[in-house]
Structure 1
Amino acid sequence: MSEKIAVVTGAARGIGLATTRLFTDSGWKVAMIDRDGEALADAITSLDNVHGIDCDVSDADSVSGMIAETLRKFGRIDALVNNAGVADFGPIEDTTYARWRTVMATNLDGPFLCVQAATPALRETGGAIVNISSISGLRASTLRVAYGTSKAAVIQLTLQQAVELGEYGIRANCVCPGPVRTKLAMAVHSQEIIDAYHDAIPLNRYGSEQEIAEAIAFLCSDKASYITGQVLAADGGFEATGIGLPALRR
């Protein structure tokens, strides 16, 4: 895996940062992409073989510039991880069109724009695309009309990319994280919510950022060379439970 180059969006924290660390530990070099320049600068200080690029993935010109900068710095792209995303939770009747568009612009337009811009470079390497969706893209939940819809659309976008770009040797897959123990989640999840998730997940726990990163890195690696068009729920079995009745498992 030496001398391979990955582009990771939303790389300043969370799953994106964990994925970056896993790549660099495996000998890859990484273009770390984030629109939070301050957080990106802080993250880079503890890493080797990375190059930070301030970029808003919802802006086509910014994305084109980001890909050009990556190629200028590293000369190639072997993997693109579309991890950047925003969450906006609220009732349908309170979700304004402006809020809807903000979510769609980053969560759906971003992966579309990044793949469009990176496709010529990925054709040269027979590279891999991994789009990060969510368990919310596989099963509906309350207060997620914009977020869940955007993540469901990312799954379909991935299938389109796999079908259309496969002839170039480009693979496209999707990872759907379930509840993950991030700092943000732990800050907003009450003990009641934590207990409810634990009851509903067959493995009875949240996932870790590292565990999601392992799934992403595998799909980008040569070990997954014949895997494309797949949707992997890294969720402790949450999606498999359907509506779930935890009491029946006791």
Structure 2
Amino acid sequence: MPLFLMHDEEITPYIQQQGKDLLTQLDLAHTQRTLELNPQTLWAFLKKEVVSKIRKQARTAISKMEAKTRNLRIQQNTILAQPDIKTNPDSQHETSLLLNYISDLKRQRNDCNHKISSAQYRIMGETVSCYWSSVAHKLKPCNIIYSLECLNNPHQKTHSDHMAELARDYHDKVQTDSEELSFASLTLATCTATQAVDHRLSNDTSELLSDLLTYQDIASALNSLWQSTRP
């Protein structure tokens, strides 16, 4: 909505009344919900009516300014047509006032048009995004892979699709050809990795970790977390 309509004496009461009617209809929709009477359709109808009213009022406001400007121009031309305009200070002063009024109306009209255009641009126009901001940036050079060599084959692939298939097949082969560790081998590997660790927990800490948590411990921890304090 154009900002100058925020002070309009007709728009604000209209929107307030439409909002009150909507609340009444929403209360009714809770008990008598139908395809025509539901919150979604009511909100859509309200938006359509308000937008239509705002557009009509915006055109009317500019038309009123144009009518005022024409009337002031007629009054100014009437005063300037008087034969004693050069010697009558009252007529000259009135002409200056009319000229100031006309200038103010022109400025108000330009402001209205500018605000209407800005509102339409924000609603329907494109906004500055990462795409537009990166248009002027130079692309950084990348490490390009021109060819891939096949396994057990001196022939090299240079086509991008063939290179992608070659990389995919190699990855699948690595995943499927790996030997599954037995339980004994896995246990041995775990013990070896554990022994290689320099830092170990103290006996007291190990005993605390080995104890089972009770319902009271969990409730206390959650309560401390809710109060933003450490347990």
TM-score (norm 1): 0.20
By relative contact order (CA 8 Å, sep 6+), the higher-ranking structure is 1
Q: Normalized against structure 2, the TM-score is what?
A: 0.21
* Bigger strand fraction: 1
